[in-house]
Amino acid sequence: MIRKESRREESLDDAELARLLPAPGDPHLSLDRHLLLEEHLMNELRTPAPAPTPAAVPPRRVTRRFLLIGVPVTAAALAGAFAFTTMDDPGASGTTAATPAPVEAPVVRIEAGTTAQLTATVERIATAASARRTPEPAPGQYIYVKSQVSSVVVSHTDEYKTKTLVQPLHIREVWNSPDGKQGWLDEPGYKPKGGITLDSSVDDTVNAPSYNYLKTLPTDPDALLKKIYTETKGQGNSPDQEAFATVGDLLGEQLAPAKLTAALYRAAAKIPGVVVVNHVKDAAAREGIALAHVDDKSGDRTEWIFDPKTYSYLGSRTVQINEANDIKPGTVLEYTAVLERAVVDAKKQRPGTQGAGA
């Protein structure tokens, strides 16, 4: 139970505190794990800062996922952290806002993946991508992507050891210039009101690509996959999982030329361990067919979801397949749905509007 502070004006001595509070846990975390968890925590639970000096340029890729996996915390402490978290950012246009309290993660039935129809399915997806007309952003325009998203917050608390907590489903909007030097992110409740800048001088890589950079990538699947493996060497839990994740990142909040998109799908089919999952739902509850890959180290499966008739990309989902860090199989750790993708004339302008840019 959560102890209510009905006598907040009265102080407690050390003996009474020791009697009321549970004994501290002993998670036996390595130094590397402590540092990783501290980094994730600080990225989200940022306190207001004094007037900043010129800040370092932020990376183009913005990480959503906030992990506290494997660290027991009290439900009261977690609720308090979110209740009092405010978000200040020197690149923001608005005021501070409270982060919504997390909710229990959905749990789904795990459908086994198969390689039986992998080649045929990927070919249908790639063929549809090749035939699809994609807009060509001009200098001064922006690639706009609107998504509905949710990702894991904490794997369990000490009071609810079987529960995994995630962000409530919410809207996320991203604007990026074709050269990747200018951009904006609006994610109400998770970024300062009005959004934050994504302006960046980071060099283009497959992990932080601009549209202009994507146009330079090879459209031969073998050459493309070789480049991805080379540029992501030493990253992630395994070379294959990192290659799959990199391709997935290019699908979600970016716009790629049609031929390259087709090549990315064909390249992904060559990654060992990729399977087809026939019935998957995205964050908007749209059912589709998925290309998926299991991370053997973390035990979760990343799924890219496609419309079963048009084979257009719908979104993604990450599901725990093997129990790890007290996360039960079937737990949905992260899922997204791309609701709109377009080219607009100004930063912060939405499709169909005029004069909304900034």
pLDDT of amino acid 160: 54
Task: Report pTM.
Answer: 0.75
User: In this structure, are residues 207 and 214 in contact, taking their beta carbons and an 8 Å threshold?
Assistant: no
What single DSSP character describes residue 226? H
Using 50, 70 and 90 to split pLDDT, how confident is the model at 157?
low
Q: Name which of 267, 234, 320, 293 is nearest 113 in CA terms.
A: 293
Please identify which residue in the block is written with the tokens 């146009």: 215
Read off the pLDDT of residues 93-130 as tens digits, 9 standing for 90 and up: 555 567 889 999 999 999 999 999 999 999 999 999 99
Kindly tell me if the per-residue pLDDT of 7 is higher than 50: no
pLDDT of amino acid 91: 52
Kindly tell me if the per-residue pLDDT of 270 is higher than 50: yes
Read off the pLDDT of residues 185-243 as tens digits, 9 standing for 90 and up: 999 999 999 999 999 888 888 888 999 999 999 999 999 999 999 999 999 899 999 99
CB atoms within 10 A of CB 21: 11
Kindly tell me if the per-residue pLDDT of 29 is higher than 80: no
Kindly tell me if the per-residue pLDDT of 341 is higher than 80: yes
DSSP readout, 243-275? HHHHHHHHHHS----HHHHHHHHHHHTTSTT-E
60/293: higher pLDDT: 293
User: In this structure, are residues 306 and 125 in contact, taking their beta carbons and an 8 Å threshold?
Assistant: yes
Give residue 102's region: left, alpha or beta (phi > 0; psi -120 to 50): beta
Helix/strand/coil (H, E, C) string of 119-156?
HHHHHHHHHHHHHCCCCCCCCCCEEEEEEEEEEEEECC
